[in-house]
Structure 1
Amino acid sequence: MRFKEGENVHVIVGNELLSGWYNGKEFGTGNSLVKVSKDKIIATKDCFIAKEKEAELVVVPQLVGDFLENHSKEDGHTLHDLLCDLLTSRDSLDENVYDWIMENNSENGELLARAWLDGYEVEKEPLYYVKLPISKRNEATDELEVINMCLLLNIQSHETCISGNYRWVDKLKRTGWRTKLTEAQIKDMPEGDAYWQFAVPVRDLEGEA
């Protein structure tokens, strides 16, 4: 088994199981070095070392995934920033996440913290495109024709717009724009119930590609 330097591992020493960090190979013997404390490094054969099992990622609802994406560590946000926004922000996404936590404070609060600290997977919810039939005059024939446009939602600013291409916007995820939306995201928009009438499951349109 191969190990990466700095990787968390378990090592058997006598009858004792210790945790430590892989520290490379010992020159001359080829034995692996495992640092088990600040000033103690053990040299042993690979057969006595095992990788530490990675914690399973927690699963969170889509709205929590969107919230965490807006407060990612990669963008410089801290856990303190996240908690402050939950308590003080009037953004509808933040308020919805706050409501979700309060539904089961002890369990959902811990779930949110673990997701931010250790990573997460988003619960698989059905996603939809909103295909809007738009009347447009054909300049060549001077007749009205109906074309399907796709509704876009910015999950950060809650702006909406329409586009003739429902796939290209996936490249703009970092800016908050989405074409693949949950039922809740669609119905939470102004006139959301009307938009919902034009919702088409993503898998149906993907099959057309």
Structure 2
Amino acid sequence: MKFKKGDKVQFIREGSMVEGVVKEVKDCSPDMWYLIDEGCKDSWIFEGHLIPLTPLPVIPQFVADAIDTFKDEGDSLAVAIDYEVYTNELVKELSLDRKMRGWLWEASNQEFFARAWLDGYEVEKEPLYYVRLPLTYWDEDKAELEDVYRHLTWNITSDETDFSGRTDWRKADGWRTRLTEKQIKDIDEAYWGFKVPVEEGEEEE
């Protein structure tokens, strides 16, 4: 069997390329037929007419930001893919990540960049961190100083910051305790020294 349920495939219909997902497989030996979910409708397609859907390149968020920025500026791929373009002045002016120059210096990454520019891309899932700060406060009930931890919280809409004793603060108005490296350093690079990786399966929705 060439394809299985859940595979992304494509096929030509009336001169146009159609994309879909395998929903069901029917063995009509010697032929195999696949029910393809095209979004708006389902169609049974003979195996010989199906082509695997080439996955989009997966790139880091900072590379995706650079692609979007250069396209918004009206620049060409030839300009954006040249690692020498990423001077300190330009990086600061366009609010790009300083890692872009080194990333594009790798020849293999230049191919990924070109494919992402031309065909689209998926963004690599970034690791998340808590910023856990040790704080000391006066406990009125115990009448003594107590050491506790507070977690940096950041509001994605207002750009405010605060501190919470909980790591699962998911207020509806946009507060987050699980942050990316860039988000933490954009708030204050000093906080990076207090990072604690979020364990797998804890990612905030």
Instruction: Tell me the TM-score normalised to structure 1 length.
Output: 0.48
Query: Which structure has greater helix proportion?
Result: 1
Q: Mark the structure with the bigger radius of gyration.
A: 1
